[in-house]
A and B are shown apart, each in its own frame.
Chain A
Amino acid sequence: MWIITLVMIMLVALPLKSSFKSVFDHSMAMEKLSGGFDAGLAGDMGKSFGQLMSSASTGGLLLVMAGFLLYTFFAGGLFTRFTTAWGGLKPTAFMKASTQNFVPFLKIALLMCLIIFFYTSLIIGLPAGIMLAVSEGSIPQTGLMIIFYVIWVLGLPVWLSVADYSRRWIAATGSRLAFRALGAGFRALGKRFWLSYFTVLVILILNVMFVCGSMWFTAWSVPQKGLMIFLFFLATQLLFLVRLFMKAWRYATVSQLAAGLKV
């Protein structure tokens, strides 16, 4: 999973890197970027700066879409593994489970994304919009907005639990009916609401802390020498592997909870 993601991203990143390098060609100006990006050089890069930025964002968008499909696919195998075969799943069986579960899992993922989108616009977008209207264009009071952010985070485990319970239900029953699975997901959450809720909340908070921490580290560290940059690359990949395990951890925990609930 890690290697596929890496290869996929490299397919976009490497051409970007080489076109970035070709802008500088034999120039020594890139040395000015060795201690962080000097935005003053963007103007010197002229049109190619804009082109690079737009291909980076288009590439990024395509990658996120491809990644979404890929991860939904792998989630199929993972849930089956956590549901039926704790001792491990042969790669072929894993792929088979992934393939079988892909369509209903994709439906669930898309539906949940839609729900989370509406949920976000309701909890964050609406109050921000109202405050913006009331204050006539001034920046919304950050103090008040923080309350809504907290509410938003506190509500999130509900949706994540439903998504996980539903997918686990599909893995367990072999059914391919996404809407029934969602129903089962809601029921499962209802049965042991607080236990599920707090378990997922704790895992979510740990995940969020990890993501924020690692992003902060990556943004802030500016390695300048060849070896340090290689070590930096290894470090980021290690962080990403940890992140993948943390995500699988949530799937596994919810699957176990579901097994305990016999749903």
Chain B
Amino acid sequence: MKRYLFLLLLSLPAMISAQTIFDRPLSDRITGYDITSILDPVRHTVTGEMTAWWVNKSDKPVNDAMLHMYLNAFSSNKSSFASDGQWSPAGDEGWGYVMIKSIVDGHANDLKNAMRFVSPDDGNIYDRTVLQITLPVPVMPGDTLKLRIVYESKLPSPIIRTGYNEDFYFIGQWFPKFGVYETAGMRQREADGWNCHQFHPHSEFYSDYSVYNVSVTMPVEFVVSSGGILIEETDNGDSTKTIKWRAEDIVDFAWTAWPGYQVAKKKWRGVDITLLTSEKGFKVADNQFTAAINALEYLDARVGPYPWPHLTVVDPPVTGSGAGGMEYTTLFTSAGGGMVPSFLKMSESVTVHEFGHAYFMGILASNEFEEPWLDEGVNSYWEQRIVDASYGDGYGCFNLPFLKLSDSDQGRTSYISNPSKQSATNDLPSWMYPHDTYDMMSYSKTAVWLHTLEGLIGTQTMDNIFREYYRRWAFRHPSGRDFIAVVNDVVKNELGDRYGENMNWYFDQVLYGNEICDYRLSGIKNHKIRSYSGIVDGDSVTFKRSDRSGDTTYLSTVSIERAGGIMLPVKVLVHFDNGDEKTEEWDGKARYKDFEYTGTRQVTWAKIDPFDEIDLDVNRINNSWTENPRFTAARRMTDKFVYLMQMMISILTI
């Protein structure tokens, strides 16, 4: 009885607050959206009404509001998104748009004539992805702006993150959405103002933490899920159903609908994980769960807790592949489950990556438009750590007896083999990277210099940096400078001034600079020290060393060069013929450096960066030098090539 009463008492608050997820908000909740909508699978539209609200947290009145109208990126071939040819519609049906049919503020003022499209990034007059509304009544500090909007969203096809293909729907960036009103000091900003960028082919998003109450009516045959939790599902009796979701403290709300989805569920600690996938993907559902849980456990232990009680993983079918590999915090899309051979951990690494964004974007909501490295790069670094730790003994991509590849090397290779790696610095806004370098710079290069930083300061300090980054910035909007400040504080705290006053010298080179890193072991020399002989002051001198000792002495020199512009402290492991080893440290600043040893031993080999910690080094082959190189691998590969050719000839000749 007592026990029963206790349980009742425990569940009472839960029953009362059944409509909310968290008792206490995780974030400021500056914005919120109550949306009712109808999915029309014939016209491929989502239409309805929404109330959007925004709180003025600044200390001055605000006279305008700025909204993202993302779907208008698909409304013409001259939008900034479509004009570079990355997307074109599948026929006339394929265009997408978001249209405001009516809009009033909380004072019942009609704002329809106060709206205008602006293009703050590139001045493109054809771009209609940013809407500015001049408010007749300014929003006073602490006041809330309420907008009641009747809207129609036409989904694009083909899908690029969002859209439809046949009866598959992925609905993201689909409603008019507030930009972020930044106050002075926030992200090193000088004056208050809206941060609301256009939708570019290479840009992601930036939004405030919100509460979402979303209701969608659609034909009953659709299987659906979203980034929220299910509040209610009603059968309307007319072969439609209405679903109500609620989400809290997330920065974006997306949902998906497809009659063919198979659903699997799993629980990890307090988190209900739901997987929506195709028949093929369902067969390997466990792989997706395992990948997601690997990532949950890894980040939970090293960065901070995943606070939501729900997580939805969508592994879209082939028809919906355009929606694959995208993140919406509590919902993300993977790709290719059951479609690739099981030794390739491709689908798993996409799952790990997209889940990782729940932290780097979801919890730590940096500005993806302006500093893409801070979400994509940081997240790629963690993805590579998780994938390599979870699969293939450190070779996370694949590990066959004759061929292996680690996920971090996969990223590093795409950086070092890119001929344009010096064309830009790493701090450009996402749409400004030249010569198709956005992917390489935002993802690969950043991950490479984060691995290098980990190599310098150690994994423990690195993890503590991210723990502190989480502690200071969770559910806020950190900038790159804020991240660097955390690095400086933690490094100073744990390692003193081993790396100087702060780590700015590092970020100035790797993030704000465009030089490359390449240290080279140019050679080893062992010279016999000769006996002393010659004419000194007119007298002939001969002095045989062997008179003193039976051993020959050598002057050994290990020569190192800095071939790249980046300067990092490096370690050099020197090996002598008697088995001795010595680790040298060098600040890596001069153009060259010689290490000299005198004695009876000779240097046989030496390695710069012996534990491969400097991922930034663009050529690791020139990092070592040995008297006796071993070419056994070359011999084995030659033998295999010979046999392969023999077989090819004998097969192809009938």
| Residues of A in contact with B (beta carbons under 8 Å apart) | 5-6, 9-10, 12-14, 16-17, 20-21, 23-31, 33-34, 36-46, 56, 60, 63-64, 67-68, 70-72, 75, 109, 112-113, 116, 135-139, 159-160, 163, 211, 214-215, 218-226, 229, 232-233, 236-237, 239-240, 243-244, 247
Contacts and interface: CB of A to CB of B under 8 A. Distances in A.
A10 to B, nearest CB: 7
Residues of A contacting B: mostly: helix
Contacts of B649: 5, 63-64, 67-68, 70-71
A28 B607 contact: yes
Given A14-B638, A36-B400, A229-B636, A27 B650 contact: no
B653 A27 contact: no
Interface in B604-648: 605, 607, 618-627, 629-648
B318 A9 contact: no
Contacts of B646: 5-6, 9, 236, 240, 243
B412 interface: yes
Contacts of A27: 621-626, 629
B643 A218 contact: yes
Contact of A46 (B401, B417, B627): B417
Interface string B575-609: 00000000000000000000000000000010100
B637 A236 contact: no
Interface stretch (B114-122, B135-143, B402-410): B402-410
12 contacts: A9-B645, A12-B645, A20-B637, A26-B523, A26-B627, A27-B629, A28-B629, A39-B405, A43-B416, A64-B645, A109-B654, A135-B318
A42 B625 contact: no
Contacts of A37: 402-404, 633, 637
Contacts of A113: 652, 654
B5 interface: no
Interface in B371-416: 395, 400-406, 409-410, 412-414, 416
B654 A44 contact: no
Nearest to A36: B402
Contacts of A237: 643
Query: What is the predominant secondary structure among interface residues of chain B facing chain A?
Result: helix
A27 to B, nearest CB: 5
A75 B618 CA distance: 52
Given A29-B624, A44-B416, 11 more contacts: A17-B634, A21-B631, A24-B634, A29-B620, A30-B630, A30-B631, A64-B645, A113-B652, A138-B318, A211-B647, A211-B651
Nearest to A226: B632
A41 B403 CA distance: 11
B184 interface: no
Contacts of B653: 67-68, 71-72, 75, 109
B339 interface: yes
A224 B634 CA distance: 10
Contacts of B406: 40
Contact of B641 (A16, A44, A135, A222): A16
B323 to A, nearest CB: 15
A44 B633 CA distance: 16
B634 A36 contact: no
Given A21-B631, A71-B653, A36 B401 contact: yes
A39 B404 contact: yes
B648 A39 contact: no
A1 to B, nearest CB: 10
Contact of B647 (A17, A33, A159, A243): A243
Nearest to B606: A28
A13 B629 CA distance: 20
